[in-house]
Structure 1
Amino acid sequence: MYNRILLIIVLFVFGSQIKAQVNLLDSLDMAQNDRTTNTAFKGLQIVNLQSTKMINKGDFYFLVSHRFGSLDDGVNTFFGLDNANTKIGAIYGVKNWLALGLSRHTLNKVYEGTVKYRISTQNQKMPVTLVGYHSLQINSQIDKDTYPDLSFQNRLTYVSEILISRAFSKKLSLELVGAFIYKNLYNPQIENQKQLSVGAGGRFKLSKRLSLNAEYLYANRPSFYNNPLSLGLDIETGGHVFQLLFTNSQAMTESEYLTNATGDWTKGEIYFGFNLYRVF
């Protein structure tokens, strides 16, 4: 009964958007600037985790992401849909191998700037695609009433990642990730200032426009938080890359989903959400 309710919610909220859009996959495959012999991922994210996909030079991507409240809240919050956190941002392709991004997150009122660049591309001579990703986050919610000695530097968090992917076939792609997170302001009782995170994600193509995605990451953090585990469904439709997902991390900034996942899958503390990319 519970699964049926969730299915009805998903279809009701998102069915009209999915039905109205067609044929993005064909346009992506025909992009003249994409020289990748084996494209491991069609989405810029696997679920929460960045993928090795790069956008083409001159392309502008508008993105909207939501993470609702926990499903275990039940009907009191309409299975979490009453409690939404939002991310709105944009990504611009400076070069075929270089992209810059900027976003704003409602959770902690964070501004995030990103740099993503491709180091190598999988082809007949190179077995993997290698991508670097860096993030600078500014927490604008903290104030001097709480932290009297607060400076602008205290608001900053830095993340550096290396992404390694391989398309093993037309259906299966896998990615390994290593990340370093540095927080200028942190609570030493529940987290570390410097953290390492390692993990993996993958994509299995179900049909021409559908793929099933999964990812898991491990961080050297205290037991207060959980390691992020996420499942998603990619839907490639006209003008949009649409991702439905379930995750134990309500936060969407790079540092917080890597290190500050609060949900527990074994207790039903799961957050439903989506990522929506529009290409211009």
Structure 2
Amino acid sequence: MCNRIIIILLILGISGQSSAQDNLLDSLDTDTNATTVWPSFKGLQIVSLQSTKMVGQGDLYFVVSHRFGSLKDGINTFFGLDNATTKLGFIYGIKNWVSIGISRHTLNKTYELAFKYRLINQNENSLISLVGYNTIQISSQLDKDVYPQLSFQNRLSYTSQVLISRSLSKALTIEVIVSYIHKNVYDPIIENQKQFSIGGGGRFKLSKRLSVNAEYMYSNKPSFYRNPLSLGLDIETGGHVFQLLFTNSQGMTESSYLTNAAGDWGNGDVYFGFNLYRVF
């Protein structure tokens, strides 16, 4: 218990062995070594936002995500396929209740370090699951030729999130998310240095292998950007969880996804993409 408290404090401070493939089907709808009232999320993300599902102790996940260009551009960009952005990363379960992740995003050439930790799990004694999520993003795209006084600290941005979910039935799980983002370098004309957002999403299970997901976040952003809205389909394929999605935000780090959503669903300015998880 003491070690758990120490790790949580360390994680909060920075922001302000493997599973076999044939066992994956049994673990997709439940948190490892945790008793839940009903199954919750299949994937570690609802669509782009984090879900309350945790990586099991000793499990290593390989993550591949793509967000293509806007469908609105039509055949000129082959409906966005010419303008793809990519995220590659790994997530490791230190304990059943805490994991660490590292990833690299082609958009803005960003590196990300992430910590996810469960504080409460829904069971017979608790109505909800409560999870914390903290990230540090490092933008390697910033250039000293443009910013002569650029330091390493200027490249950093931070995200802190509280995730609260409840499985209402075998088919339906909902989640509320409160988020805070701080950027060391920002454009004050089009964005805020500090941004709060609140929203959430949910998952509706269609079958053992399929579910539909949705998420939306509202924030105190300038009018230049829009609030992110995303729809997705989870497909379980044996050794993989495959998520197909449509979103108005091309970014895949929390700071980019939540603060720089440029697409407009009403005008068909939407990005197609997917998330793919492989567990070892």
After superposition, the C-alpha distances for 1:137-175 in whole angstroms (9 at most, x for unaligned) are 000000111111101000000000000000000000000
**Superposition deviation, residue 26 in structure 1:** 3.3
Distance 1:254 1:128, change over 3 A: same
1:212 aligns with 2:212: yes
**Superposition deviation, residue 31 in structure 1:** 8.0
Distance 1:109 1:38, change over 3 A: same
* Partner-residue secondary structure (3-state), 1:258: helix
1:173 matched to which residue of 2? 173
User: Given that residues 69 and 271 in structure 1 are in contact (C-alpha distance below 8 angstroms), is that contact kept between their aligned partners in structure 2?
Assistant: yes
The unaligned stretches of length 5 or more in structure 2 are 1-20
TM-score after normalising by structure 2? 0.90
Distance 1:172 1:27, change over 3 A: closer
Detail structure 1 runs of 4+ shifted over 2 Å in the superposition. 21-39
User: Given that residues 130 and 162 in structure 1 are in contact (C-alpha distance below 8 angstroms), is that contact kept between their aligned partners in structure 2?
Assistant: yes
* Partner-residue secondary structure (3-state), 1:63: strand
2:39 matched to which residue of 1? 39
1:163 matched to which residue of 2? 163
**Superposition deviation, residue 24 in structure 1:** 4.3
TM-score after normalising by structure 1? 0.90
1:9-28 mapped onto 2 (5 Å cutoff): 24-26=24-26, 28=28
CA RMSD of aligned residues (A): 1.6
**Superposition deviation, residue 119 in structure 1:** 0.3
User: Given that residues 24 and 237 in structure 1 are in contact (C-alpha distance below 8 angstroms), is that contact kept between their aligned partners in structure 2?
Assistant: no
Q: Distance in 1 between matches of 2:204 and 2:30?
A: 21
Distance 1:263 1:31, change over 3 A: closer
1:221 aligns with 2:228: no
User: Given that residues 105 and 111 in structure 1 are in contact (C-alpha distance below 8 angstroms), is that contact kept between their aligned partners in structure 2?
Assistant: yes
1:70 matched to which residue of 2? 70
User: Given that residues 23 and 237 in structure 1 are in contact (C-alpha distance below 8 angstroms), is that contact kept between their aligned partners in structure 2?
Assistant: no
Q: Distance in 2 between matches of 1:32 and 1:261?
A: 34
After superposition, the C-alpha distances for 1:9-35 in whole angstroms (9 at most, x for unaligned) are xxxxxxxxxxxx998433545886343
User: Given that residues 205 and 212 in structure 2 are in contact (C-alpha distance below 8 angstroms), is that contact kept between their aligned partners in structure 1?
Assistant: yes
Partner AA of 1:254 in structure 2:
E
1:130 matched to which residue of 2? 130
Q: Distance in 1 between matches of 2:171 and 2:30?
A: 19
Q: Distance in 1 between matches of 2:88 and 2:166?
A: 29
User: Given that residues 39 and 53 in structure 1 are in contact (C-alpha distance below 8 angstroms), is that contact kept between their aligned partners in structure 2?
Assistant: no
Distance 1:27 1:46, change over 3 A: closer
2:188 matched to which residue of 1? 188
User: Given that residues 198 and 219 in structure 2 are in contact (C-alpha distance below 8 angstroms), is that contact kept between their aligned partners in structure 1?
Assistant: yes
Partner AA of 1:74 in structure 2:
G
* Partner-residue secondary structure (3-state), 1:113: strand
1:25-174 mapped onto 2 (5 Å cutoff): 25-26=25-26, 28=28, 33-174=33-174
1:198 matched to which residue of 2? 198
1:253 matched to which residue of 2? 253
Q: Distance in 1 between matches of 2:27 and 2:117?
A: 23
2:266 matched to which residue of 1? 266
Q: Percent identity?
A: 70
**Superposition deviation, residue 46 in structure 1:** 0.3
Aligned length: 260
Partner AA of 1:79 in structure 2:
F
The unaligned stretches of length 5 or more in structure 1 are 1-20
Distance 1:225 1:195, change over 3 A: same
